[in-house]
Structure 1
Amino acid sequence: MDKINIEGVLLTPLKKIHHPKGDVFHGMKKSDAGYYGFGEAYFSTIHFQDVKPWKKHLEMTLNFVVPLGEIRFVIYDDRDESVTKNNFFDVTLGSNAYQRITIPPGVWVAFSGVGSGFNLLLNLANLEHNPAEVERKEELSEIPYQW
């Protein structure tokens, strides 16, 4: 497991259960760490070598799972009150690292498709989407990180 250096970020190993007629991929239970209620679940895809730029939710907790492909996540903490202010955390999730990453409100996240095939992300969010509680940076260079 990767060393987490951002306050509030969790990595939770998930089970994949093999079945000859189709596998089962666990996502989240309400008894899991990182579960703060249910608002919505959605899927998103990202193409190989594409990067979706920085986004910060002000209220929503994200719970990302990558059941297909591989996606690299970079998280940046610029919270003034955080003991991990100015830290980055970089992790790749997917078939070789089947885990859920919990991202608290107030930190930036960007991600890139590193799997050469279909890269699928599931977000199990605690709130319904509200554009008023999201900040975005359209250019990756707005937060200095070497991709």
Structure 2
Amino acid sequence: MSEAGIPGVVVTPLKLVANEFGRLMEVQRRDDRDFPGFGQVYVTQSFPGIVKAWYRHTLQIDQLAAITGLVKLVLYDDRPDSAARGRVAEIVMGELAPRLVRIPPGVWHGFKALGDSSAFLLHLNSEPYDFGAPDEERRRADDPSIPFAW
């Protein structure tokens, strides 16, 4: 496990177990050391070249794993009390580079499917989405306050 240079971010390599029937990839168990609990689990599809950025949460811990395809996940830490304030981290993950990335509250993040195929991402959120009061702040992908160009 590593932190990608941003405190609270945990990147866990996932193991693929192959047999004559196919593959199994265990993503998370409740007895894992870094298990934050589940509020909601869902899958999204990201079309090639489409950027889904930027967003962050006040309370929610996001966890992402690419199930198919290849994804560039980018994190930006502008938390005032963080030792990594101003740092950008890029993580490439996909079906052949399986990882679970835990993103703490307050860290901006976004992603883009790489290559010619779409990607499916598994989202394991610590809080359920509240349509009446979303715990989410958004910025445009080209927001100049975030030092990253997609």
Q: Give the TM-score, by structure 1 length.
A: 0.92
Letter in 2 for 1:137: R
- Taking a change above 3 Å as real, the CA distance of residues 22 and 48 of structure 1, as seen in their structure-2 partners, is same
Q: Aligned pair 1:58/2:61, yes or no?
A: no
Letter in 2 for 1:96: L
Gaps of 5+ in 2: none
Q: Is the 8 A contact 1:13 1:100 kept in 2?
A: yes
CA distance in 2, matches of 1:90, 1:60: 21
- The alpha-carbon deviation at position 97 of structure 1 amounts to 1.4
The count of aligned residue pairs is 147
Aligned to 1:20: 20
More helix by share: 1
- The alpha-carbon deviation at position 68 of structure 1 amounts to 0.6
Query: Residues 57-95 of structure 1, C-alpha deviation per residue, up to 9 Å, x if partnerless?
Result: 111111101111011010000100111111011011102
Identical positions, percent: 29
Aligned to 1:95: 95
More strand by share: 2
Secondary structure (helix, strand or coil) at the match of 2:109 reads: strand
Q: Is the 8 A contact 2:46 2:119 kept in 1?
A: yes
RMSD: 1.7
Q: Aligned pair 1:145/2:142, yes or no?
A: no
Gaps of 5+ in 1: none
Aligned to 1:135: 137
- Taking a change above 3 Å as real, the CA distance of residues 39 and 3 of structure 1, as seen in their structure-2 partners, is closer
CA distance in 2, matches of 1:57, 1:32: 23
Q: Is the 8 A contact 2:3 2:10 kept in 1?
A: no
- The alpha-carbon deviation at position 34 of structure 1 amounts to 3.0
